[in-house]
Structure 1
Amino acid sequence: MNKYAPPKFSFKLLHPKYWGVWISFGVLALLVNLLPYAVLYKLGRAFGKYSSKLAKSRVKVARRNIELAFPDKTAEDVERIVEENIKNTGLAFIEMGITWFWPTWRLKRRIRTVNLQQAIDFEDEGRGVLLCHPHTLNLEISARAFAVLGYPGSGVYRPNNNPAYDFIQYWGRTHNGNTLVDRKNVKEMIRVLKRGERLFYLGDHDYGRNKSVFVPFFAVKDACTTTGANMLFSLTNCAMIPVTGFRDDKGHYELNLADSIHEGFPKKDLEAGATLMNQAYEQVILRQVDQWMWVHKRYKTMKDESLPKGYRYKK
């Protein structure tokens, strides 16, 4: 049996122990399809605001990340970004429902594009494209937006331990021709790019010491950063394009492709490659700082191994 085979439906998933998952997603599907977007927007942000009272540790992490990344910001500026970010984190749950359960025609009306043609041109050349997308809170919408516009690709994902959740997640993320690749299935990622297709690459989080280097990310000079982009580029000679799908103040999602960065990308110099990738991520995150996933402990792994993991967050 292929250990990377996609999840399939079976009657075992209807066991009472999974009813909570089915009911939760059923309610979410009804909400996002019955309510107008303006109401969903307010509902999601209100959910974020009030859930923050129950998840104070996450609020603390977001605040500390922003303090580390932007040491020149005033305390008032930091709190403003934190407040908006937590509201947007709540909205991300609604946006996930929009991505998984909205019909194509409804989502397409919300999508705007900037500089999409370059990705199309690379496809015409038969060249794979590594879409370097940061962990924005509306990442789910970005991934489906490509497919809705007729340019599906592959996303890297971690199978969920709950089989019912995993089945729904896989189904929700593979609309309009998108496919998913298990995060451990590196060979398939390489095959996707060699076939001249698009692969989403999320290299802006702290994934631990394995296959990582310590380079600057915003103001932190030794942020643990994966070197996966170097490996994929070296083996496939793919194009590399930073991309975001931030939400604007009118409720549209702007699929914005920055200029490609693969020309002159250092294949063998891991630190130089990771530094260039972080700089690219910084530039696109700064378009809408409060819509990035600041609740993740981005700076948890320390270069100095004598310091415990998460040392920077123990203040």
Structure 2
Amino acid sequence: MSVSSTPPFKVKFLMPQYWGIWIGVCILLLLAHLPWRIQFRLGRWLGEKFWALGERRRSDTLINLGLCFPELSEAERYEMGKDVFRNGVIGFFESLSAWYTPKRFDNQVTIDGLHHLIEAQKRGQGILLLGGHYTTLDLGGYLSSLFFSAYIVYRPQNNPLLEWLITRARSNIFKQQIDHDDMRGLVSALKSGQIVWYSPDQDFGLKQGVMAPFFGVPAASVTAPRRLVKVNNSAILSFHSYRQNDEKPHYHLTITPELLNYPSDDPVMDATRINDMFEGLIRIAPTQWMWFHRRFKSQPEGVLSPYKKAAEQEKDQSI
């Protein structure tokens, strides 16, 4: 199985070409040790600055929110988008805390639905645990490790030092890490009865996906979960985490009941069920999901994505 746990340190990481990253790491370590209230307030302030300066990400976020929350006014979506950016930066600080100072959150967590996971484990056929790209992603991972151990599917970093740093940090949280391209490793983990954390809630293209509604909007949706579950008749459940009480945070984890009668013979129906499940979980704390990613980028041939449409409209208006 191609997995990563604690990768070896390479002497070349001490070369001058990596010094900038090491300086950044020192700054991040200092930030990780700041009191929560300072992290929270700094995160909100930086989030507002990124919202003001990050034109493309701001535009993408507003497009996504416009598609998925048409019932809200434009002003409401604008404020919602700003809150997404605030939570995004706060989530970055939460990730730093999960990597370097996690113990301070040990008594600030509640979990619901753990019995669903325990019951599914008794079958011994592996569990595909569907997580989402929530802003609490890494801290939610650490807090979940207080209750159960899991393998995680991840996308390797291009920079080898960043890969070493992040993989090493996450090795204290997750049992093993599997490259997202390593389908054999995924299958092997499930066959050995492991819990495998997999996040299929973003746009990974249509090469191995289908168009299925996400918040009622057609979106590229991966079909890998149905193939993985089918191999070993593994259980499929989902995991959600969000932050409550900003000034004195408490984190709520939820494990949903097993998705029954999955997979079916219809990949679009299966993808729709998973997307509907994510929609329900995201709506619990809608500004704690990463709306700044281009969820609707991939489209069938001949169909423009909403981001390209917006860019063309803006170009036409400027002529």
Query: Do the two structures share a fold, i.e. TM-score over 0.5?
Result: yes
Aligned residue for 1:11? Answer: 11
CA deviation string 1:179-218 (max 9, x = no partner): 1100111111111111111111111111111111011110
Aligned residue for 1:184? Answer: 181
Shift of the alpha carbon at 1:301?
1.0
Q: What is the one-letter code of the residue matched to 2:11?
A: F
Aligned residue for 2:316? Answer: none
Shift of the alpha carbon at 1:80?
1.8
Aligned residue for 2:149? Answer: 152
> Is 1:259 aligned to residue 257 of structure 2?
yes
Identity of aligned residues (%): 28
C-alpha distance in 2 between matches for 1:5 and 1:177 = 10
Aligned residue for 2:241? Answer: 245
Aligned residue for 1:311? Answer: 308
Aligned residue for 1:269? Answer: 266
Shift of the alpha carbon at 1:109?
2.0
C-alpha distance in 2 between matches for 1:291 and 1:244 = 11
The answer to whether the 8 Å contact 1:61/1:313 transfers is no
**Among 228, 233, 237, the residue aligned to 1:232:** 228
Q: What is the one-letter code of the residue matched to 1:141?
A: L
CA deviation string 1:199-247 (max 9, x = no partner): 1111111111111101111031x21111011111111211111211111
SS at match of 1:245: strand
In 2 relative to 1, CA 176–288 (structure 1 residues): closer, same or farther, beyond 3 Å? Answer: closer
SS at match of 1:246: strand
In 2 relative to 1, CA 176–156 (structure 1 residues): closer, same or farther, beyond 3 Å? Answer: closer
C-alpha distance in 2 between matches for 1:254 and 1:293 = 18
TM score, norm. by length of structure 1: 0.92
C-alpha distance in 2 between matches for 1:219 and 1:76 = 22
Shift of the alpha carbon at 1:127?
3.4
The answer to whether the 8 Å contact 1:148/1:176 transfers is no
SS at match of 1:247: strand
CA deviation string 1:96-143 (max 9, x = no partner): 10111114x323122221111221222233231111111111111122
Gaps of 5+ in 1: none
CA deviation string 1:252-311 (max 9, x = no partner): 1211112221x11134321111011101111111110000000000001112x0134543
C-alpha distance in 2 between matches for 1:72 and 1:259 = 29
After superposition, where does 1:116-135 map in structure 2 within 5 Å?
116-135=114-133
Aligned residue for 1:209? Answer: 206
C-alpha distance in 1 between matches for 2:95 and 2:115 = 26
C-alpha distance in 2 between matches for 1:76 and 1:85 = 14
For the aligned residue pairs, the C-alpha RMSD in angstroms reads 1.8
